Chains A and B, each alone.
Chain A
Amino acid sequence: MTVGGSPQWVAPDGLSAAAACRLAQRELARRDARFFSLEANPDDAGGLPFRAEFPERYVAWTGAEASLIGAAGGLALAGKIPLVNMFSARGLMRACEQVRLDLCYHHANAKLFGSIDEGPEAGSPEGAHRAIGDLALARSLPNLTVIAPADATAAYHATLAAGAHAGPVYVRLARHATPPVYGLGCRFEIGRGIVLRDGSDLTLVAASPAVVAAALAAAELLRRDGIDARVIDLHTVKPIDRALLAQAAEETGLIVTVEEHPVRGGLGGAVAEALGDDCPVPMRILGVPDACREQAGTRQEQLRRCGLDAPGIAGSARRALARWQGERA
């Protein structure tokens, strides 16, 4: 089987990461008859290209996630490579024990594609269908590779990479369109972070749709203040790219992580664990506050409220840098 995909593939405007992932799944199925599609998210905005082309390898389940994940484990035991499309709130959270035992423990060659948002306007980050705590859960599970691609193009390449990777993989996706980060030449490699912008004063480390683009925009805002920020897309949250992080910590000092995730246990936690061992430096973890909120609002509005849009990230980074420089003075 061909490993990886052509870096020439670029998502058309308006395509969500979840929809791009669907196209990559069809591509995997064209290359290798072992790929099966298991469906717990049939209302996907990107349509169902896999079902249209390979109906005999498409298994509709529509909910009942615990038994669906178990069946994925069984298919993997029988030599298939199940691709599970699901809402993370149900596929990863409700069926967590099946993921842990039937997939991770058995090192099942199964791939989980989880949307963290219900619809294009998901409302409150802590709302019923939202699964923004998925990274903390996923990275605690043994043997599980955890990927949060930055946009639709990266999601396509991440899906091909996941398909070529032996063992269980969780890919975090969004069902609504997010700003593009990558164009031609996206070279996605599991476990290897990507420096999107070089800089020497501090490093912004981000993962998953929306916030990587916001971190890049924040770096541009910081530049106007004379602050030179490096930006890393740390798309693989587990295993984490320790070398790239240690290098950034050594060269820029302050690390600011950015995630659409509770501030505990996600990307920031993973970075802190790595740097604590390898190169302790001042850190600031930006994410969703550890509190449940009930206000309505679009996803963009919610990100702004949490300080996860470009001005919010730039402001937090500026304050963290000033504080650190004050302590050093």
Chain B
Amino acid sequence: MSDAPLRDSAVQPSPTAPRVQSIDVVLRRLPWGRIGMPAVLVAMAVFFGTINPNFWSVTNLTNVSRQMSILALISIGQTFAILSAGIDLSVGSLLALVSVACAQGMLAFGLAGGIAIGVLAGCLAGLVNGVLIAKARIPAFIATLGMLVAARGLALTLSGGLPIAGLPHEFLFIGAGYLGPFPLPSVIAAVAFVIAYLLLSRTRFGRYVYAMGSNEEAAVLSGVNVVKYKILVYVVSGMFAGIAGVVLTSRVISGQPTLGEVQELYSIAAVVIGGGKITGGVGGIGRTLMGVLVLGMLSNGLNLIQVSSYVQNIVVGAIIIIAVYIDLARERRR
């Protein structure tokens, strides 16, 4: 009786931690789930900035944000697919298909027509993905793998394998223009993040995306029209690939059937580095943003401190695995 309550109260705050209060314990109690990624980003920024002060220059930051915008856009779409317990392997190839469609459309129907056709091409490919996955019940990995190969083939067929030049000069504005001090691609990506955030956190569609990803059978039995919302997921992913494809086409001011190779894999990496669960149901647009920032800052920073691009790939690969391992380790401890 006399020592039991004492012992209990000493152990209570953290039954697994050692009883001595130390910095170690304090550090461990911080809510790493919430502040972990921002902390890593700050650490990376400080590290790169210290070695090469140019990192902090306005020119560099502007450049990084513009470079990241394409990956950001397709990663937003990928977030929807992965959250719903699916995946979209086609987004990289869709960049090429959209680019070709956009350029040819622009030559035929003018600036606005080309942009619209580009985005629509993305949506349409997404619709095909969605119908194959939700209606024909083909696993998302297979359906979008097929689309990855086919969309590339279609882009090459439509373009004859050659770049499509002669696009109107005003089109440059999307990829190279500014809104105030901000590069337009970055503004487009930022707006896309906000819209995607609202979609996922404030709408029924978003809630159903999480529900399907967490437990599809339970979602069906809760009255969620899984077929409809799954199709919508891939249309959304295709739409963001469409927007990204148009921006990219403007940046290279031509339709290019070879754009976007392996970009789908980087978009998946961005989602999981941010802490999204590859099996669905866990993650979010904020986390994907973190993942995109880590990848973008890493490649820029490593360039600035003159690490060869070969070695950069090793680092990025390691980061993907480490990030997921840390997440798993944290979950196991709970």
A binds B: no
Chain B residues engaging chain A, CB cutoff 8 angstroms: none
A-to-B contact residues, CB < 8 Å: none
